[in-house]
Each structure stands twice: as C-alpha cells, then as structure tokens.
Amino acid sequence: MKNNIEHLAIIMDGNRRWASTRNLPSLEGHRNGAKTIKTIVSHVMEINIPYLTLYAFSSENWKRSDDEVSWLMNLFSFYLTKELAKLIKNGVRLKIIGRLELLNGRLQNQINEAMLLTKDNKRITLCIAFSYGGRWEIIDACQKIIDSGNKEINEIDFKNYLCDPEMPDVDLLIRTGGVSRISNFLLWHSSYAELYFSSKYWPDFHKVDLINVIDDYSKRQRTFGEK
C-alpha cells in the first residue's frame, strides 16, 4: 500500500472496556492490547511508515488504582525485555517520551538500555508515550527555554526543547475506543494532523482496520489552512 504518511500516532483506547464486555478483569484487556501493538507495529513496518507514536500511559493514568498502575508498569517492563532482541533485529529505533523520572529505577534503566541499543536503527522509529502529557511537554519545553536564558525563539527553536526534537509533525492520528478527543496527546505535533476516531476497542483493532483508516486518509485533501 502506498501512502504519504511520515508520522502515524495512535491513542490506544478501550482495553478496560473490551475486558468489561467479556466479563474479564481489566488487566486482560491490557494484556490483549499489548498483543495488538505487535500486530500493528508489524504492519506499519510493512507499509513503510517511518515514525509511529503510541500513547501507552498518560499523566492522568497515574490516578488509577495502585494495583492497576503496578501491573501496567510490570507489563511494560516485561515487553521491553521480551521484544528488545526483535526490535534490534528488525531495525526498529525505540524512543520513550514522558516524565520517566516518575518510574521506578529498574524500569528507567531498562528504558535507557533499550533506547541505547536501538539508537542506530533506521527502518522505523517506534516512540512510546509513557507517563506523558501534551501540556506537560509544552510547559517543560518553556522551562528549558527559561533556564537556557534564550530570550527570543521561533517554532523551529521551540521544537528543539520538546521531548524528541527529531519527531516529525503528525500526519494521521487514530484513536480507538469510540471516544472523539485527543486527550492531551502530542498537542504541538498534531496541530494539522488528520484525525480518525474508531469505534473499535484497541484489542479489536486489526490490520484490516488500519488499512481502511489509511485508505480514508489517502482520500483527504490536506490544505494546512492555505485554502
């Protein structure tokens, strides 16, 4: 499939509701959602989208129960360990953005090691937004600018203070779960993104669904406010 998407971003919503409709614990929704990530990342690689960002854990998610937060941290740690060799083999550069200082030391070390070991890979960049909020990212950038003593900046300068200065603007932002909002995700980078809201819960979002979304995107005319 041909596409002109440089940066695809996905809000992976609906894991807990998927589990609830099946009378399963919410943790089973997260477990199945993690399996969907592997399928979607594989297909994104097949169709040569060079940058993929997934919203995995938001700043607001810290307000969930201690048990659920702990389980999500362990799940993330498990998949970092389990999938790292595959990421390296398949040429995936891994980036993790967010308030990582809030994570425990062991998980921080895992993240740093994974990013270091994949930093030279060039096939695709997989960015995971974890402990992340778009407003925080912008405020954090402003504080860095103040600390630098820089008195005058433009958009290009400002981007250099964001979590990932190399991150391209989002072309297509998908949210699953039947909710039509972007929930504090990549606010700077999504200014002119095309939005697509799927009614499917994330564990039910498959390769064919991604194909259909990209087909819809390909029929849109992007004017970036010029017309």
Q: State the catalytic residues.
A: 13, 61
Residues 79 and 38: beta-carbon distance below 8 Å:
no
> How far is it, in rounded angstroms, from Cα 188 to Cα 142?
13
* DSSP code at position 128: E
CA 110-45-39 angle, 5° bins: 70
In a 13 Å sphere around the CA of 69, the CA atoms on its Cβ side amount to 14
Q: Tokens 């017309």 belong to which residue?
A: 227
H or E stretch at 212: helix 207-218
Residues 173 and 195: beta-carbon distance below 8 Å:
yes
Contacts of 173 (CB under 8 A, 6+ apart): 8, 9, 10, 11, 182, 185, 186, 190, 193, 194, 195, 196
User: Which tokens is 164 given?
Assistant: 């990932």
Q: Nearest CA to 53 among 39, 66, 68, 40?
A: 40
